[in-house]
């Protein structure tokens, strides 16, 4: 019908929904079109605040995505006040957009936090520790003294894992003259939806 990633007007809603899930699963890979998503939340003055987050994990069932951030960040404070959020990503190679909405939660489960922490690169882990001055020549470095390194295996309190439980998803394809838009919503754990007329 069309090459992978493109759809014509006859594409089934189920196929489009599966494409959204596959794109988000691939989005956890660095360099993937949906690895970087724009997250919108409401600030303390009830005004929209948008920033870029890195997609760390997506679970097709039950429809959840995860990202990490500083526990003291403004986005965490905003989520604690109002956990309704929206996300959007764009694939320039296929001229397609995925827009999501749901409820965000700061994960407290230590096993979940540890699982995500161990998947991070050393560079990302180090960013959650306070900067320290270089040791003097006569100081022992942590590896020599046997003390735990800043890369440690236990997530620090500054590390926040955020889960977004999705309740709506939209796919928009503007690669052709006839733009294609599909909207889906979740009721309980069942997703339903179909093609709609594109609205800005």
pLDDT digits (tens, 9 = 90+) for 160-179: 999 999 999 999 999 999 89
pLDDT of 149 over the 60 cut: no
In this prediction, residue 37 carries a pLDDT of 98
pLDDT of 147 over the 90 cut: no
Neighbours of 107 (CB within 10 A): 16
Q: Which segment of 48-52, 77-81, 127-131 scores lowest on mean pLDDT?
A: 127-131
Q: Is 19 exposed, middle or buried (0-12, 13-18, 19+ CB in 10 A)?
A: buried
> Cα(85)–Cα(98) distance, rounded to whole angstroms?
14
108: left (phi over 0), alpha (psi -120 to 50) or beta: alpha
State the average pLDDT for the chain. Answer: 87
Rounded mean pLDDT of 147-170?
83
pLDDT of 131 over the 50 cut: yes
> Cα(61)–Cα(93) distance, rounded to whole angstroms?
27
Break the chain down into helix, strand, coil percent, rounded to 5: 20, 35, 45
Chain segment 101-124, per-residue pLDDT in tens: 999 999 999 999 999 999 999 999
pLDDT grade, residue 62 (50/70/90)?
confident
Q: Which two tokens stand for residue 113?
A: 């936090």
Chain segment 32-61, per-residue pLDDT in tens: 999 999 999 999 999 999 999 999 999 998
Indicate the pTM of the whole model: 0.85
Percent above pLDDT 70 for the chain: 83
> Cα(75)–Cα(151) distance, rounded to whole angstroms?
24
Rg (CA), the chain: 20
pLDDT grade, residue 6 (50/70/90)?
low
In this prediction, residue 153 carries a pLDDT of 79
């Amino acid at each position: 019908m069309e090459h992978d990633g493109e759809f014509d007007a006859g594409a089934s809603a189920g196929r489009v929904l599966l494409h959204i899930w596959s794109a988000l699963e691939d989005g956890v890979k660095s360099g993937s079109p949906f690895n970087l998503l724009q997250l919108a939340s409401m600030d303390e003055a009830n005004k929209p605040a948008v920033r870029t987050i890195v997609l760390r994990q997506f679970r097709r069932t039950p429809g959840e995505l995860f990202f990490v951030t500083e526990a003291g960040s403004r986005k965490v404070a905003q989520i604690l006040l109002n956990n309704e959020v929206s996300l959007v990503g764009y694939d320039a190679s296929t001229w397609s957009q995925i827009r999501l909405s749901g409820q965000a939660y700061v994960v407290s489960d230590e096993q979940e936090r540890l699982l995500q922490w161990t998947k991070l690169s050393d560079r990302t882990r180090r960013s959650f520790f306070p900067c320290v001055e270089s040791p003097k020549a006569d100081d022992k470095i942590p590896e020599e003294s046997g003390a735990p390194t800043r890369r440690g295996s236990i997530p620090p309190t500054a590390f926040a894992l955020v889960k977004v439980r999705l309740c709506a998803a939209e796919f928009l394809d503007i690669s052709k003259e006839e733009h294609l838009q599909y909207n889906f919503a979740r009721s309980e754990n069942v997703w339903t939806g179909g093609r709609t007329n594109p609205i800005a």
